Protein backbone atom coordinates (compact mmCIF):
# COMPACT_ATOMS: atom_id res chain seq x y z
CA UNK A 1 0.00 0.00 0.00
CA UNK A 2 1.36 3.40 -0.90
CA UNK A 3 -1.56 5.70 -1.58
CA UNK A 4 -4.39 5.69 0.94
CA UNK A 5 -7.65 7.61 1.16
CA UNK A 6 -9.28 8.06 4.54
CA UNK A 7 -12.99 8.88 4.39
CA UNK A 8 -13.70 10.34 7.80
CA UNK A 9 -10.04 11.30 8.20
CA UNK A 10 -11.04 14.49 10.03
CA UNK A 11 -12.87 12.43 12.68
CA UNK A 12 -11.79 10.51 15.75
CA UNK A 13 -10.70 7.11 14.44
CA UNK A 14 -9.78 8.72 11.11
CA UNK A 15 -7.34 11.26 12.55
CA UNK A 16 -5.51 8.56 14.49
CA UNK A 17 -5.44 6.45 11.35
CA UNK A 18 -3.99 9.34 9.34
CA UNK A 19 -1.20 9.70 11.91
CA UNK A 20 -0.49 5.94 11.85
CA UNK A 21 -0.31 5.98 8.03
CA UNK A 22 1.96 9.03 7.90
CA UNK A 23 4.27 7.54 10.53
CA UNK A 24 4.85 4.61 8.21
CA UNK A 25 5.50 6.74 5.17
CA UNK A 26 2.28 6.29 3.23
CA UNK A 27 0.80 8.98 0.98
CA UNK A 28 -2.50 10.03 2.53
CA UNK A 29 -5.55 11.83 1.20
CA UNK A 30 -8.51 12.77 3.39
CA UNK A 31 -12.05 13.72 2.42
CA UNK A 32 -13.86 16.57 4.14
CA UNK A 33 -17.33 18.08 4.21
CA UNK A 34 -18.54 21.56 5.07
CA UNK A 35 -18.82 20.90 8.82
CA UNK A 36 -15.70 18.72 9.11
CA UNK A 37 -13.14 19.68 11.72
CA UNK A 38 -10.23 20.19 9.35
CA UNK A 39 -7.96 22.35 11.54
CA UNK A 40 -6.00 19.36 12.82
CA UNK A 41 -5.59 17.30 9.69
CA UNK A 42 -4.73 20.37 7.59
CA UNK A 43 -1.55 20.75 9.66
CA UNK A 44 -0.40 17.38 8.39
CA UNK A 45 1.14 16.43 5.07
CA UNK A 46 -2.08 15.15 3.52
CA UNK A 47 -4.15 15.96 0.47
CA UNK A 48 -7.57 17.36 1.44
CA UNK A 49 -10.32 16.44 -1.01
CA UNK A 50 -14.02 17.32 -0.94
CA UNK A 51 -16.01 14.12 -0.47
CA UNK A 52 -19.46 13.27 0.74
CA UNK A 53 -21.03 9.83 1.15
CA UNK A 54 -24.18 11.27 -0.41
CA UNK A 55 -22.25 12.46 -3.48
CA UNK A 56 -21.04 9.39 -5.42
CA UNK A 57 -19.11 11.43 -8.00
CA UNK A 58 -17.02 13.10 -5.31
CA UNK A 59 -16.20 9.65 -3.90
CA UNK A 60 -15.09 8.20 -7.23
CA UNK A 61 -12.91 11.26 -7.89
CA UNK A 62 -11.30 11.02 -4.44
CA UNK A 63 -10.71 7.25 -4.74
CA UNK A 64 -9.07 7.25 -8.18
CA UNK A 65 -5.46 6.10 -8.02
CA UNK A 66 -5.68 4.94 -4.40
CA UNK A 67 -4.48 1.49 -3.34
CA UNK A 68 -6.56 1.37 -0.17
CA UNK A 69 -9.64 3.26 1.01
CA UNK A 70 -10.48 3.43 4.70
CA UNK A 71 -14.15 4.09 5.33
CA UNK A 72 -14.10 5.53 8.84
CA UNK A 73 -16.78 8.11 8.38
CA UNK A 74 -20.03 6.23 8.17
CA UNK A 75 -23.34 7.64 9.33
CA UNK A 76 -23.45 8.16 13.11
CA UNK A 77 -26.91 9.27 14.25
CA UNK A 78 -26.88 11.80 17.10
CA UNK A 79 -30.21 10.55 18.40
CA UNK A 80 -31.97 7.19 18.36
CA UNK A 81 -35.36 8.64 17.46
CA UNK A 82 -35.65 7.71 13.77
CA UNK A 83 -34.84 4.06 13.16
CA UNK A 84 -35.81 3.98 9.47
CA UNK A 85 -34.06 7.28 8.70
CA UNK A 86 -30.83 6.25 10.46
CA UNK A 87 -30.68 2.87 8.73
CA UNK A 88 -31.44 4.35 5.31
CA UNK A 89 -28.79 7.07 5.65
CA UNK A 90 -26.19 4.59 6.91
CA UNK A 91 -26.82 2.06 4.17
CA UNK A 92 -26.87 4.72 1.45
CA UNK A 93 -23.44 5.94 2.51
CA UNK A 94 -21.87 2.47 2.60
CA UNK A 95 -23.46 1.55 -0.74
CA UNK A 96 -22.18 4.73 -2.41
CA UNK A 97 -18.68 4.19 -1.01
CA UNK A 98 -18.55 0.56 -2.16
CA UNK A 99 -19.83 1.36 -5.66
CA UNK A 100 -17.31 4.19 -5.95
CA UNK A 101 -14.49 1.87 -4.83
CA UNK A 102 -15.48 -0.67 -7.50
CA UNK A 103 -15.67 2.03 -10.16
CA UNK A 104 -12.34 3.57 -9.15
CA UNK A 105 -10.62 0.17 -9.07
CA UNK A 106 -9.52 0.41 -5.43
CA UNK A 107 -7.48 -2.59 -4.25
CA UNK A 108 -9.06 -2.89 -0.80
CA UNK A 109 -11.62 -1.15 1.36
CA UNK A 110 -11.15 -1.26 5.13
CA UNK A 111 -14.42 -0.46 6.86
CA UNK A 112 -14.79 0.77 10.45
CA UNK A 113 -17.77 -1.07 11.87
CA UNK A 114 -18.56 -1.64 15.55
CA UNK A 115 -18.70 -4.51 18.02
CA UNK A 116 -22.32 -3.40 18.48
CA UNK A 117 -23.11 -5.42 15.33
CA UNK A 118 -22.44 -8.64 17.28
CA UNK A 119 -24.98 -10.93 18.92
CA UNK A 120 -25.96 -10.69 22.59
CA UNK A 121 -25.08 -14.15 23.85
CA UNK A 122 -26.78 -13.82 27.22
CA UNK A 123 -24.19 -15.85 29.12
CA UNK A 124 -20.55 -15.39 30.08
CA UNK A 125 -19.02 -16.34 26.73
CA UNK A 126 -17.04 -13.78 24.78
CA UNK A 127 -18.62 -12.87 21.44
CA UNK A 128 -16.45 -13.59 18.41
CA UNK A 129 -16.59 -12.30 14.85
CA UNK A 130 -18.87 -15.22 13.97
CA UNK A 131 -21.59 -14.25 16.46
CA UNK A 132 -23.71 -12.22 14.08
CA UNK A 133 -27.43 -11.72 14.73
CA UNK A 134 -29.72 -13.14 12.05
CA UNK A 135 -31.68 -9.88 11.93
CA UNK A 136 -31.08 -6.24 12.86
CA UNK A 137 -31.30 -5.87 16.68
CA UNK A 138 -34.83 -4.71 17.41
CA UNK A 139 -34.15 -2.87 20.65
CA UNK A 140 -31.46 -0.47 19.47
CA UNK A 141 -31.44 2.01 16.58
CA UNK A 142 -27.66 2.33 16.81
CA UNK A 143 -26.99 -1.41 16.75
CA UNK A 144 -29.56 -1.95 13.99
CA UNK A 145 -27.99 0.80 11.88
CA UNK A 146 -24.47 -0.57 12.28
CA UNK A 147 -25.66 -4.16 11.62
CA UNK A 148 -27.48 -3.15 8.43
CA UNK A 149 -24.58 -1.02 7.20
CA UNK A 150 -22.20 -3.92 7.58
CA UNK A 151 -24.59 -6.28 5.81
CA UNK A 152 -24.47 -3.93 2.84
CA UNK A 153 -20.80 -4.86 2.44
CA UNK A 154 -21.85 -8.40 1.53
CA UNK A 155 -23.34 -7.10 -1.72
CA UNK A 156 -20.09 -5.31 -2.49
CA UNK A 157 -18.08 -8.48 -1.80
CA UNK A 158 -20.30 -10.41 -4.18
CA UNK A 159 -19.59 -7.73 -6.79
CA UNK A 160 -15.86 -8.34 -6.33
CA UNK A 161 -14.74 -5.70 -3.84
CA UNK A 162 -12.03 -6.75 -1.36
CA UNK A 163 -13.42 -5.57 1.99
CA UNK A 164 -12.11 -6.02 5.54
CA UNK A 165 -14.11 -4.88 8.58
CA UNK A 166 -12.60 -3.65 11.83
CA UNK A 167 -15.03 -3.73 14.76
CA UNK A 168 -13.79 -1.44 17.54
CA UNK A 169 -15.05 -1.34 21.11
CA UNK A 170 -15.66 2.01 22.81
CA UNK A 171 -12.68 4.11 21.73
CA UNK A 172 -10.82 6.55 23.96
CA UNK A 173 -7.83 8.69 23.08
CA UNK A 174 -6.79 11.89 21.30
CA UNK A 175 -8.78 13.79 18.62
CA UNK A 176 -12.18 12.85 20.12
CA UNK A 177 -13.76 16.17 19.17
CA UNK A 178 -17.33 14.85 18.93
CA UNK A 179 -16.99 12.70 22.09
CA UNK A 180 -18.35 9.19 21.91
CA UNK A 181 -17.16 7.00 24.77
CA UNK A 182 -14.88 9.89 25.75
CA UNK A 183 -18.01 11.77 26.81
CA UNK A 184 -18.16 9.45 29.83
CA UNK A 185 -14.70 10.62 30.90
CA UNK A 186 -15.50 14.31 30.43
CA UNK A 187 -18.92 13.96 32.06
CA UNK A 188 -17.48 12.14 35.08
CA UNK A 189 -14.57 14.55 35.64
CA UNK A 190 -16.94 17.50 35.31
CA UNK A 191 -19.43 15.73 37.66
CA UNK A 192 -22.01 16.35 34.94
CA UNK A 193 -23.54 12.90 34.49
CA UNK A 194 -26.90 12.96 36.30
CA UNK A 195 -27.51 9.22 36.06
CA UNK A 196 -26.01 5.96 34.86
CA UNK A 197 -26.85 2.37 34.10
CA UNK A 198 -24.37 -0.41 34.67
CA UNK A 199 -23.21 -3.16 32.36
CA UNK A 200 -20.06 -4.62 30.86
CA UNK A 201 -18.23 -2.34 28.43
CA UNK A 202 -15.33 -2.96 26.05
CA UNK A 203 -12.89 -0.03 26.00
CA UNK A 204 -9.95 0.35 23.65
CA UNK A 205 -7.26 2.93 22.92
CA UNK A 206 -8.14 4.51 19.58
CA UNK A 207 -4.48 4.29 18.52
CA UNK A 208 -4.69 0.48 18.80
CA UNK A 209 -7.75 0.63 16.56
CA UNK A 210 -5.82 2.75 14.05
CA UNK A 211 -2.97 0.22 14.01
CA UNK A 212 -5.48 -2.59 13.45
CA UNK A 213 -6.87 -0.78 10.40
CA UNK A 214 -3.41 -0.34 8.97
CA UNK A 215 -2.49 -3.99 9.39
CA UNK A 216 -5.85 -5.16 8.06
CA UNK A 217 -5.04 -3.15 4.93
CA UNK A 218 -1.64 -4.78 4.55
CA UNK A 219 -2.39 -8.48 5.19
CA UNK A 220 -2.33 -10.52 2.04
CA UNK A 221 -5.16 -12.81 3.08
CA UNK A 222 -7.06 -11.18 5.94
CA UNK A 223 -10.21 -12.48 7.57
CA UNK A 224 -13.39 -10.58 6.75
CA UNK A 225 -13.84 -9.16 10.26
CA UNK A 226 -11.64 -8.29 13.21
CA UNK A 227 -12.95 -7.38 16.66
CA UNK A 228 -10.73 -4.78 18.33
CA UNK A 229 -12.71 -4.57 21.53
CA UNK A 230 -10.00 -3.90 24.12
CA UNK A 231 -10.46 -4.08 27.88
CA UNK A 232 -13.62 -5.59 29.38
CA UNK A 233 -14.96 -4.18 32.64
CA UNK A 234 -18.20 -2.97 34.24
CA UNK A 235 -18.98 0.66 33.46
CA UNK A 236 -19.16 1.41 37.20
CA UNK A 237 -15.55 0.24 37.54
CA UNK A 238 -14.45 2.38 34.61
CA UNK A 239 -16.07 5.48 36.10
CA UNK A 240 -14.60 4.77 39.55
CA UNK A 241 -11.20 4.50 37.90
CA UNK A 242 -11.72 7.85 36.18
CA UNK A 243 -12.71 9.54 39.45
CA UNK A 244 -9.72 8.05 41.26
CA UNK A 245 -7.35 9.17 38.53
CA UNK A 246 -8.64 12.61 37.48
CA UNK A 247 -11.25 13.65 40.05
CA UNK A 248 -14.92 14.35 39.49
CA UNK A 249 -17.74 12.22 40.82
CA UNK A 250 -19.94 9.27 39.97
CA UNK A 251 -23.46 9.95 38.68
CA UNK A 252 -25.78 10.37 41.69
CA UNK A 253 -28.61 8.25 40.29
CA UNK A 254 -28.39 4.64 39.10
CA UNK A 255 -31.13 3.26 36.84
CA UNK A 256 -31.96 -0.21 35.64
CA UNK A 257 -31.85 -1.00 31.91
CA UNK A 258 -35.49 -0.29 31.21
CA UNK A 259 -35.50 2.98 33.14
CA UNK A 260 -32.28 4.05 31.44
CA UNK A 261 -33.62 3.43 27.93
CA UNK A 262 -36.80 5.39 28.71
CA UNK A 263 -34.89 8.28 30.33
CA UNK A 264 -32.38 8.51 27.46
CA UNK A 265 -35.14 8.52 24.89
CA UNK A 266 -37.11 11.21 26.75
CA UNK A 267 -33.98 13.38 27.04
CA UNK A 268 -33.24 12.98 23.33
CA UNK A 269 -36.80 13.97 22.44
CA UNK A 270 -36.46 17.09 24.58
CA UNK A 271 -33.04 17.99 23.10
CA UNK A 272 -33.78 17.25 19.45
CA UNK A 273 -35.61 20.49 18.49
CA UNK A 274 -32.51 22.53 19.46
CA UNK A 275 -30.11 19.82 18.21
CA UNK A 276 -28.73 19.77 21.78
CA UNK A 277 -26.49 17.14 23.31
CA UNK A 278 -27.67 14.87 26.10
CA UNK A 279 -25.45 13.58 28.91
CA UNK A 280 -26.25 9.90 28.26
CA UNK A 281 -27.30 9.26 24.65
CA UNK A 282 -29.63 6.33 24.02
CA UNK A 283 -26.98 4.77 21.78
CA UNK A 284 -24.55 4.64 24.72
CA UNK A 285 -27.25 3.18 26.97
CA UNK A 286 -27.89 0.49 24.34
CA UNK A 287 -24.23 -0.50 24.25
CA UNK A 288 -23.88 -0.54 28.04
CA UNK A 289 -27.05 -2.58 28.59
CA UNK A 290 -26.07 -4.92 25.74
CA UNK A 291 -23.36 -5.81 28.28
CA UNK A 292 -21.58 -8.24 25.99
CA UNK A 293 -17.90 -9.08 26.53
CA UNK A 294 -16.12 -9.41 23.20
CA UNK A 295 -13.09 -11.46 22.20
CA UNK A 296 -10.32 -9.74 20.23
CA UNK A 297 -8.27 -12.95 19.92
CA UNK A 298 -8.32 -12.99 16.12
CA UNK A 299 -7.07 -9.42 15.82
CA UNK A 300 -4.40 -9.92 18.49
CA UNK A 301 -3.02 -12.86 16.57
CA UNK A 302 -3.54 -12.00 12.87
CA UNK A 303 -2.88 -8.28 13.19
CA UNK A 304 -0.06 -8.71 15.70
CA UNK A 305 -1.81 -6.33 18.05
CA UNK A 306 -1.18 -5.62 21.71
CA UNK A 307 -3.61 -3.49 23.68
CA UNK A 308 -2.39 -0.32 25.33
CA UNK A 309 -3.04 -0.51 29.10
CA UNK A 310 -6.37 1.07 30.02
CA UNK A 311 -4.84 3.76 32.25
CA UNK A 312 -2.55 4.89 29.42
CA UNK A 313 -5.50 4.99 27.04
CA UNK A 314 -7.48 7.11 29.52
CA UNK A 315 -4.47 9.40 30.09
CA UNK A 316 -4.24 10.00 26.33
CA UNK A 317 -7.90 10.97 26.20
CA UNK A 318 -7.72 13.11 29.35
CA UNK A 319 -4.67 15.03 28.12
CA UNK A 320 -6.37 15.78 24.80
CA UNK A 321 -9.60 16.92 26.45
CA UNK A 322 -7.62 19.29 28.68
CA UNK A 323 -5.59 20.61 25.79
CA UNK A 324 -8.71 21.61 23.88
CA UNK A 325 -10.64 22.83 26.93
CA UNK A 326 -13.27 20.12 27.13
CA UNK A 327 -11.89 19.93 30.65
CA UNK A 328 -10.38 22.77 32.66
CA UNK A 329 -6.62 22.79 32.46
CA UNK A 330 -4.88 21.55 35.59
CA UNK A 331 -1.21 21.22 36.36
CA UNK A 332 -1.82 18.02 38.32
CA UNK A 333 -0.59 14.71 36.95
CA UNK A 334 -3.04 11.81 36.92
CA UNK A 335 -3.08 9.90 40.18
CA UNK A 336 -1.89 6.32 39.94
CA UNK A 337 -4.81 3.91 39.98
CA UNK A 338 -4.33 1.35 42.72
Partner 1 sequence: MKTAEERRTFIIHAIAEILEIEPEGIQGESQLREDLGMDSLASLELLSTISREMNVDLEMEEAMDIATVNDACVFVERHLEAGATGASASPA
Interface with partner 1, residue 42, by CB under 8 A: yes
How many other CB atoms are there within 10 angstroms of residue 298's CB atom?
A: 18
Confirm or reject binding of residue 178 to partner 1 (CB under 8 A): yes
Q: Does 336 bind partner 1 (CB under 8 A)?
A: no
Residue 35 engages partner 1 in binding (rule: CB under 8 A): yes
Contact flag: residue 50 with partner 1 (CB under 8 A): no
Per CB under 8 A, 179 contacts partner 1: yes
**Cα atoms in the 13 Å half-sphere on the side-chain side of 284:** 24
Contact status: 330 vs partner 1 (CB under 8 A): no
What does 291-322 look like in DSSP terms, one character per residue? Answer: ---B--HHHHHHTT--PPPHHHHHHHHHHHHH
By the rule CB under 8 A, 320 interacts with partner 1 = no
In the complex, minimum distance from the CB of residue 48 to partner 1, in angstroms, rounded to a whole number: 8
CA distances from 15 to 6, 68, 76, 175, 273 (A): 9, 16, 16, 7, 30
Q: Does 70 bind partner 1 (CB under 8 A)?
A: no
Candidates 32-40, 152-160, 196-204, 291-299; binding stretch for partner 1 (CB under 8 A):
32-40
- Taking the complex as a whole, the smallest distance from the CB of residue 277 to partner 1 amounts, in Å, to 8
Q: What is the spatial distance between Cα 13 and Cα 176, in angstroms, rounded to a whole number? A: 8
For partner 1, give the closer residue by CB, 325 or 336. Answer: 325
43 contributes a contact to partner 1 by CB under 8 A: yes
Q: Under rule CB under 8 A, which residues in 1-20 are in contact with partner 1? A: 10
Q: Closest approach of Cβ 322 to partner 1, in Å?
A: 10
Give the separation between CA 165 and CA 224, rounded to whole angstroms: 6
Q: Is the CB of 99 or the CB of 190 nearer to partner 1?
A: 190
Q: What is the 3-state secondary structure (H, E, C) of 202-240?
A: EEEEHHHHHHHHHHHHHCCCCCCEEEECCEEEEHHHHHH
Contacting partner 1 (CB under 8 A), which of 22, 132, 136, 177?
A: 177
By the rule CB under 8 A, 40 interacts with partner 1: yes
User: By CB under 8 A, is residue 221 in contact with partner 1?
Assistant: no
Question: 79 vs 147, which CB is nearer to partner 1?
Answer: 79
Instruction: Report how far apart, in Å, the C-alpha atoms of 87 and of each of 91, 141, 155 are.
Output: 6, 8, 16
Q: Which stretch binds partner 1 (CB under 8 A): 29-37, 64-72, 103-111, 258-266?
A: 29-37
Let me know: does 198 contact 236? Beta carbons within 8 Å.
yes
Q: Is 128 in the site for partner 1 (CB under 8 A)?
A: no
Q: Find the helix packing angle between 182-189 and 310-323, rounded to 10°.
A: 70
Distance of CA 331 to the CA centre of its chain: 30
Kindly indicate which of the ranges 158-166, 171-179, 254-262, 295-303 contains the residues binding partner 1, using the contact rule CB under 8 A: 171-179
Among residues 11, 16, 21, 36, which is the contact residue for partner 1, using CB under 8 A? 36
Instruction: Collect all residues with Cβ–Cβ distance below 8 Å to 109 and sequence separation of at least 6.
Output: 68, 69, 70, 71, 97, 98, 101, 156, 161, 162, 163, 164
Identify which of residues 29 and 166 has a Cβ nearer to partner 1 in the complex.
29
Q: How far apart are CA 97 and CA 201, in angstroms?
A: 30
Strand pairing category for 108-112 and 225-228: unpaired
Residue 77 to residue 57: CA distance in whole angstroms: 24
Among 1, 38, 61, 132, binds partner 1 (CB under 8 A): 38
Residue 24: CB atoms within 10 A of its CB come to 11
Looking at 38-46, 64-72, 210-218, 293-301, which segment touches partner 1 (CB under 8 A)?
38-46
Q: By the criterion CB under 8 A, which residues form the site for partner 1?
A: 10, 35-40, 42-43, 177-179, 274-275, 323-326
Amino acid sequence: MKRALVIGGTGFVGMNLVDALLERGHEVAVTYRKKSITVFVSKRDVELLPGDLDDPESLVAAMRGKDVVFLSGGHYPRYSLDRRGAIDAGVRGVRNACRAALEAGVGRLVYTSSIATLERLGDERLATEDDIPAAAPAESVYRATKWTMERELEFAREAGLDVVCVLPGGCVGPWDARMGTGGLLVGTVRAALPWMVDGLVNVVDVRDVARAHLRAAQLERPAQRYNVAGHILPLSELLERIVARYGGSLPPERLDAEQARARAEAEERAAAPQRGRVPMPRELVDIITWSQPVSSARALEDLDLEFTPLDDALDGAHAWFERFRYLPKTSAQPRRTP
